[in-house]
Amino acid sequence: MSEVVLRRSDLENFLKAISKIKDEIEAIQEELEILLNDDFVKKIEEGLNDVREGNIYSLDEFRKVVRE
């Protein structure tokens, strides 16, 4: 039977890799939840169309409208 030596830095790198994978999986799950929500996707598409058509307020314009 042979001996396995695990350095602390190897373990830390392994744990960081696992954490990164976990974060990526959670991001994919969130994206899928959005894409599976037809109403939400429709609102996103409407918002993107508004941006393309210039139907948006600058931050300063928005602040003026809110103050009035």
54 to 14, 39, 43, 48: CA distances (angstroms): 47, 23, 16, 10
Q: Determine what percent of the chain is predicted with pLDDT higher than 90.
A: 74
Query: Does residue 58 belong to any structural domain of this protein?
Result: yes
Q: 44: how many CB neighbours lie within 10 A of its CB?
A: 13
Tell me how many domains the chain contains: 1
pLDDT at 60: 92
pLDDT above 90 (res 4): no
**What proportion of the chain, given as a percentage, has pLDDT over 70?**
100
Mean pLDDT of 46-58: 92
Residue 2 lies in a domain: no
The answer as to whether 3 is a domain residue is: no
Q: Is residue 24 part of a domain?
A: yes
Domain of residue 25 covers 8-67
What value does the mean pLDDT take over residues 46-65?
91
